[in-house]
Structure 1
Amino acid sequence: MTTTEPAQAPSEPVRPRARTAPGQGLTWSLRGRGPADVPVLADAGPPLGRPAGPATGRGVRVCVVDSGVERDHPLVGPLAGSWVVVKDGESGGITVEPTTTGDTCGHGTACAGIIRRTAPECEIHSVRVLGERFSGTGDILMAGLRWAVEQRFDVVNLSLSTTRTRFAQELHSLADSAYFARTVIVASAHNTPVESFPWRFASVISVGSHQEDDPELHLYNPDPPVEFFGPGQNVTVPWLGGRTIRTTGNSFATPYVAGLCARVLSAHPRMTAFQLKNALYLSAANVRHAPRPSSPPAGDTGDTRDDSEN
């Protein structure tokens, strides 16, 4: 889904999750302080990227920035909160407000349903930035995504992009801010080979679709720019009116990967965005894990030398 440059209201405010910051005031260098002054509680993450035991997304807050989500769709269930980005026609001011209007076109409901299917116990929130014709404006997208990042959601599903380059720098800065704040943005690659954002940025997890029949399979892409492929071709998704449709697009591979992130985080809540990317890489179906040698080959002492020295 691409912006063309252009539920239910929450019963209580969004509660930011606890974070582990790398020390107050740490900016460009560490002077006058040592390792003990910047302690970080870390999580090694799951072996080979797969969490041990049940990992259902429990305790993980996922925000779907899209067209809204249909309230109480049987394949989505209740929403933890629903908001809409509103632009004043006279002043041009933009606000994010609670809403009960649901979904305008079905796209957000489809994404939320895939997330629910993948991580059934995660907490799903919705921010509506698209209108009835599957389109929106860049400034509305920016406002909705910025709000989601400021709320410190664990995962943000963004099955949209903008081709308007004037938003690229601001989107890049926002994506970097989310990355360092441990809010993982999972962004859909454009369905056609055109330049669009923010999926092109390294600080987000970018997703395209594959054509494999296995609905539980994701792949790592060794050839940039997109990083991962998920099931997004001819998939069954929830739609408006409590029904389902079959559809195709990178938009629908993206929430599958977002759901995987929620599952991993439910078992390993202190993982960073960097670690999550590595977990997705290690658990991808096409990544082979070479065995480690138990000892150096015969005659190999492990010494190294600088060949420039005579």
Structure 2
Amino acid sequence: MHFIRISILFITLFAIPNLGDAQELKAKVTVMAARVATTVDRKIFTTLQTQLNNFMNNRKWTSDVFKENEKIECSFIINIESAVEPNIYKASLTIQAARPVFNASYQAALVNFIDQELLFKYVEFQPVEFNENRVQGTDAGVANLTAVLAYYAYMIIGLDYDSFSPKSGETFFRKAQNIVNNAPEGSKIAGWRMFDGLRNRYWLNENLINTKFNIIHDVIYTYYRAGLDKLIENENEARANILQALIQLNALNKENPNSMILQFFMQGKTAELIGIFKKGTFEEKQKAVELLSLLDIPNANKYKEELK
């Protein structure tokens, strides 16, 4: 399954010595705490940032072998809004991930999402650990931080695999589902349950494992592998495939209006799509504007203006 990704990256990136059983993520975790009261020792946030970077980058998330130049580039920005109780923090989490485009230096966004519901407990130098067989841990506040990060690690890996080989990310979406099903529970912990809102971890994972959304996996593969990866080799074919992915996505949206996966998929792709279809035929531009005005409503005017 992973050999497709390996062959693509081996061709497109400079050769790097084989480091053997390297981890899968090239993650950068940033902890921002400007809003937290000055009575809190700032050093704690530097310590937390270091521990989380080690956690994300040193853990093996799959059983597959990744070379150094195959790692998935991603970033996690924890923006701490307040200390709601001693050692307990309320934050938002910005998650971004990208994958390389074949024969290009361009990195295409896989994930560009803000999770508004991150509550966690942290005491300086406490162990930062995650056990997928015991997600809840002994302290919900402590466990919630690594559970959230592990959830997004698996979701990123699943989306990356889907983008290189049809429906190959399911194993990792199921691992994320296990975290959802066994998530830490607490009076102020949110984002894991279906009734926590319509745009949360539960619904994102649900949309990616529910069979009625199966077409989204075809959309992901078509958009990236049959679309972006072919732009250099055959731009016209690539653009036609990307248009087909949008047609499939629109069909999914008609059957499941306002689903989370639609918003999630479209986030951060506006400039990319405009650049792709600017070089298209008049008919392709017309069709793209028609579809994108339905799929990405907040940016509908941008598409109409740029692709007229």
Same fold (TM over 0.5): no
**Normalized per residue, which structure has more helix?**
2
Using the size of structure 2 for normalisation, the TM-score is 0.27
> With CA pairs under 8 Å and 6+ residues apart, which has the higher RCO, 1 or 2?
1
Question: Could you tell me the TM-score, scaled by structure 1's length?
Answer: 0.26
